Homo-oligomer: A and B are copies of this chain.
Amino acid sequence: MTDLPAFAPIPAVLPSTVPFVGPEQIERESGQAFKARLGANELTLPPSPKVVGACARIAQTEAAFYPDPAAYDLRAALAAHTNLAPENILVGEGIDALLGWIVRLFMAPGDVAVTSLGAYPTFNYHVAGAGAHAETVAYRNDAEDPKALAARVREMNAKLVYFCNPDNPMGSWHDAVAVQEFIDSIPETCLVLLDEAYAEFAPGGVIPANAFVRPNLIRLRTFSKAYGLAGLRVGYAMGSPRIIGGFDKIRNHFGVNRLAQAAALAALEDQAHMNETVATIAKGRERIAAIARANGLTPLRSATNFVTIDCGQDGAFAKRLLAEIVARRVFIRMPGPEGLNRCIRVSVGRDDEIDLFEQILPDCLRAARSL
């Protein structure tokens, strides 16, 4: 096979990879459908009826029209919602895409980004795609370690630092004061990516006020979690007008499709539905924690829509347990790094999905222990 035309030097040495294997692929490979989808921190509750209505209406009347590259209506609504100006807000095709644009806007080959070992892998994927390097800092007490991250930023003269609050995959959090102190401890030459995908699930005092804007801060939010629109791919970034405007140098302007913009707008306008969802998730989180405890496991505290469960043994045991659970057609995932990998991570799904998890867990534990 010819190796011409040649890939450019940076991608030439990168692997072809997918940051996450989708549950659909596991289903195809096993030949069995999942009965519960508790692995991707999706919401498995129905979206707002207003979202469904907006999708049907736009599909009928405007499917043929290119989306508005400015996402004007959604951006205006988000500005009103966050008490910021539209110039502070960029809508993107999910946080995944926003991470990619941020890396392209700020990182050159050889530059360094700092993140936590075990944090969101798509960030590292994009950093590698820029020919840059992701330095990792260990979690401390199952949480990201702001002081160690800041120290590493200074040590490496990093261009970007990624911080997720509340955190995935551990569900832990820092309070808003600590987050602001962390941000203000980062040199002005380094951009802080504050991933707040789980913001809506967090208790009071965890999320800095939206008015907390810094020249070297970009905050990421999403419609994929509390608004239940992961399938639609809409996220947004909040930051200084200089940075927000900078995305127009490189982004795919027509990337957020017309249905997605309309669906996100409808979801945003139905705060009652979102608040009910968050309350439902909080109950589900308690239930999963209780199931874990009833089975002798230790649920970690969570400010998200999932519960990370300490299985009390090593990574090999947690991995066996996960395999038993997945074999019983319940999709879950687990953290990768040593230390964190004593845990499994269970997203809060519908009641019937949690029922199934409760039902199979004792058997799975017996099987994992007997191997």
Contacts and interface: CB of A to CB of B under 8 A. Distances in A.
Interface string A252-268: 11110111100100000
Interface in A186-240: 188-191, 215-216, 224, 228-233
A322 to B, nearest CB: 19
Nearest to A46: B60
A36 interface: no
A52 interface: yes
Interface in A241-257: 242, 245-250, 252-255, 257
Nearest to A41: B66
Interface string A1-45: 111111111110011111110101100100000000100101111
A177 interface: no
B230 A259 contact: no
Interface of A: 1-11, 14-20, 22, 24-25, 28, 37, 40, 42-47, 51-52, 55-56, 58-60, 62-70, 72, 93-94, 96-97, 100, 104-108, 111, 129-130, 159, 188-191, 215-216, 224, 228-233, 242, 245-250, 252-255, 257-260, 263
Copies of this chain held together in the complex = 2
A65 B230 contact: yes
Contacts of A254: 94, 96, 233
Contact of A47 (B16, B63, B224, B248): B63
A72 B26 CA distance: 12
B62 A59 contact: no
Q: Which 7 A-B pairs have the closest CB atoms?
A: A231-B258, A55-B59, A16-B248, A56-B56, A14-B249, A64-B228, A233-B257
